[in-house]
Amino acid sequence: MPVSLQQSESASRLRRAGRSLLFATLLTALLIGVAAAWSRRAQSPVLHLLSGTAWLVSTGPGLMTEINGLSGRAESSVKLPFESYTPDFQILQDTADILVAHRGSGSFSVVDAVSHDVSPMKLIDGWTSGATLVRGSRGTYAVDSSLGVITYLDGTTFDRIGPPTKIGAPVGGGVLDGDGTLWVVVPGRGTAVPVRDGVAGAPVSVARPRDRISPAAAAGRPLVVNWTTGVVAPVSGGTPRRPFPGAGFAGSRSVTASASGSTLILTGSDPPAVGLLDLTDGTTSTLDLGIDGDIGPPVLDGDRVYVPDRGAGAVLAYDRRTGARTTRVPVSGRRAPLDAFAHDGVVWVNDPAGPDAVAIYRGQPRRIQKYRTSPTRAAPTPAPRTSPPSSPPTSSAEPTTTSSPTVATPTRSSARPPTSRPPTPSPGSGPRPGPGAIPVPARLGLLFGPVFPAPYTPREMAFSPDGKLFVLDGTFYDLSDPATPRRGKTVKATWPSCAGTAMAIAFDPRGDNLAIAGHGNQGCLLSADGQRLRAPLLAPEPVEGYKEVRAAVAYSSQGIVAGDFTFVTGIGEVPIRLWDVTDPREPVIVATLGKGAANPRSLTFSRNGNLLVENSTLWDVSSPSAPKRLASLGLSENIGASFSRDGSLLAAGDRLWSLRNVGKPTVLRMPAIRGDIVAVNPAGTIIVVLDATGDENNIQLWDIRDRSDPKTIGRLKADWKFPDDGIVNVAFSPDGKFLAVMGGRSTVRLWHIRS
């Protein structure tokens, strides 16, 4: 049908009007969507951390500082409500809040990322000293690797959900897969164990027993890194097995694996080593570090790998393809416990013990001063808050003048009331306490074993793993109320050689058993309450009688008991035995140490069970059936030995040793300290020194958080009933809250170490 020109123009106008109406409708919908999105932006905390910002901790003044990584400026700070600030913090930050947890005490606080409110300090329910938090969408886990104990926590309140899961052996860390299941590995058994909603599933065989293995997760899939065989394999199906040069990590004291996208970062320390494994095509590369000291966790950012050099206080940048170093950026310029992580498109390197940090954006570093300090190192001086520019940094490694943060007063809660001023130490020679935050310990009860034990041994006292029980000469004391220790049950051993006095005693770090030394070169394995015999610990050379007491026993987190149960000299010296008590009903001797010695012995395991001090010798017992002598500590006799929780410090032979290079321990010399160093606390912050004034019943406590300038905490008087007895043993509880000092007639004075 023919169409007229007028009809055609009318239809054209209608089509144009329809298109205009459609465009107006779409534009209106788009504007409504933008307005809704902008409204959500004003309310949502998610967008607050999407501008290159992160929160960095400063343990000295106890601050959390919000830093803009693009400008390098400190935007604000909040004061954390902790009573003491040591470097042993774990920081978990997401878009809504920042969790700050102290690994030693289990105390934590939460900082709101938007309002900057700070929650009151609380204790994580069921916490064991030294545990690590693993936080996921289905909840949070506290993983104690040494004890093999996993506690499932509410992700908001951190209250315990259900009873703890006991794996029964040390575990190698923990990672979460895509559906929120926690995976831990058990090197002693060669298995991986899934834990879902706090319940352990069936173990999966992933390696040979006692292979060195670590867990990792990439793209939501759990992996196992076998450092012994040099293979990365999935726990079940999926990603193919990938080889890597495991020999490069054979000498490293500790190893870890972490994923960044499809790349696995393999890290060793003492000596340091870093390797990269592409899980997609299997290609590997090794960084040419060129340093011998301690390193922090490497961070992968595009084609660059950033490695914190803790020994020099700098961060080193490497080309991931060639492994060659490209840049060195100073952070603190001195030895510091640098930490590194990637957040919001920026690589952050922080010195938690000082005011310095570095933010690296697209390869360009920006020096940061988290807070301003005076020349006399006084408390941080806040400065007015300024509006930082949003342009990325243009300078390289040169320091940049920055404004200091505004210190915000917590509005949700306030910190605990200030503690009373520490009392002045008793008169005498020696330095006075410094202005630190560690009060003088509170003196508790005086406990007695037999007045004239026959024979007696200074190894007959021990703390339980949770620090709530103390055993002296086979008698339990309840320390729930530190002011009044309560006497409880006594050890009962039905095996003839173990009946009567407990000559030496050691708790299972996992809390399941108790080992004691008996007579006639025999010992016993008991239940944790000391009431039931598990099995006798028998040596091949039973002997009778005694002329000189030489009893010592130690219990490792790997299920190994070291025992010197000999009470005879002159008949021939008997070496120390290592028993595998993984099955407590059938202990098996797996190795012997030394050829026997006439001097009284002490035996002490490190927390992870890899090291053993036998009197004056340091042993590597990571493979218990093949112990290796590492070093002699110089002196043949000592009161005892103690390790810091992380294994970096050892008090033995009247000296404090650094174990950064475990094969070559070095003495840490602090000229201000005169006397014999006999113990270090688990946190590595306090040492016990026998008084150098000649009074054998006086000891000093020193704060060594700043080893260049240690401070006296106080001088403690043992005040025995037998004043000429002197001191024969000193021990901290595993949680560091108590100090026990033993005199020569089984008399023990307890002190409460307040934070």
**How far is the C-alpha of 183 from the C-alpha of 259, rounded, in Å?**
15
Of 15-19, 197-201, 452-456, the one with minimum mean pLDDT is 452-456
Residue 467's pLDDT band (boundaries 50, 70, 90)? confident
Tokens of 38: 């902008």
Res. 30 pLDDT band, cuts 50 70 90: very low
The residue segments making up the domain with residue 619 are 491-637
Of 144-153, 179-188, 430-439, 569-578, minimum mean pLDDT range = 430-439
pLDDT at 468 over 90: no
Residue 550, domain member (yes or no) = yes
**3-class SS of residue 30:** helix
Long-range contacts of 133-140 (CB under 8 A, 24+ apart): 133/90, 133/92, 133/99, 133/101, 134/174, 134/175, 134/176, 134/182, 135/92, 135/99, 136/176, 136/180, 136/182, 137/180, 138/179, 138/180, 138/196, 138/197, 139/180, 139/197, 139/198
Chain centroid to CA 726: how far? 34
Tell me, yes or no, whether 574 lies in a domain.
yes
Question: Is the pLDDT confidence value at 339 over 80?
Answer: yes
Q: What's the pLDDT tens digit per position in 253-266? A: 788 899 888 899 99
The better pLDDT of the pair 161, 452 is held by 161
The owner of tokens 């329809």 is 18
Question: What band does 84 get if pLDDT is binned at 50, 70 and 90?
Answer: low
- Asked if 168 and 510 touch (Cβ cutoff 8 Å), the reply is yes
The arithmetic mean of pLDDT across residues 283-294, rounded, is: 86
Q: Can you tell me the mean pLDDT for 488-498?
A: 75
Could you read off the pLDDT of 124-138 as tens digits, one per residue?
887 877 789 998 777
592 inside domain: yes
pLDDT at position 621 = 92
Q: Is the dihedral of CA 198, 199, 204, 210 positive or negative?
A: positive
Q: Which two tokens stand for residue 589?
A: 């001797």
* Any domain includes 597: yes
Domain total of the chain: 1
Cβ-based burial of 643 (10 A; exposed 0-12, middle 13-18, buried ≥19): buried
pLDDT of residue 202: 94
Average pLDDT, the chain: 76
Mean pLDDT over residues 359-386, rounded? Answer: 63
Residue whose C-alpha is closest to residue 561's, from 608, 521, 604, 601: 604
Looking at the whole model, is its pTM more than 0.75? no
Greater confidence, 270 or 486? 486
**Which of the four pLDDT bands, split at 50, 70 and 90, describes residue 61?**
confident
Q: How many CB atoms lie within 10 A of CB 6?
A: 8
User: What separation in angstroms does the CA of 600 have from each of 498, 652, 663, 726?
Assistant: 20, 14, 25, 17
**371 vs 391, residue with greater confidence:** 371
Q: Is the pLDDT of residue 400 over 60?
A: no
Judge residue 130's burial from the number of C-beta atoms within 10 Å of its C-beta, 0-12 exposed, 13-18 middle, 19 or more buried.
buried
Dump pLDDT digits (tens) for 34-54.
Answer: 444 433 333 322 223 335 788
For residue 136, list its beta bridge partners. 139
pLDDT for the residue 193: 95
User: Is 411 within the bounds of a domain?
Assistant: no
Q: Is residue 612 part of a domain?
A: yes
CA angle 341, 342, 343 (to 5 degrees): 120
Q: Is the pLDDT of residue 416 over 60?
A: no
CA 490 to chain centre: 34
Pairing status of strand 204-205 against strand 588-593: unpaired
Nearest CA to 267 out of 324, 235, 325, 227 is that of 227
pLDDT at 713: 85
Choose between 400 and 242: higher pLDDT. 242
Q: What is the band of 353 on the pLDDT scale with cuts at 50, 70, 90?
A: confident
Find the angle CA(645)-CA(650)-CA(655) to the nearest 5 degrees: 150
Look at residue 559 and tell me if it is in a domain.
Answer: yes
Is residue 537, in this structure, part of any structural domain at all?
A: yes
Instruction: Please list, in sequence order, all residues whose beta carbon lies within 8 angstroms of the beta carbon of residue 639, skipping any fewer than 6 positions away.
Output: 458, 602, 654, 678, 679, 727, 728, 729, 730
What digits encode the pLDDT tens for the residues 533-573?
Answer: 888 887 665 444 444 446 788 999 989 998 877 544 444 45
CATH number at residue 531: 2.130.10.10
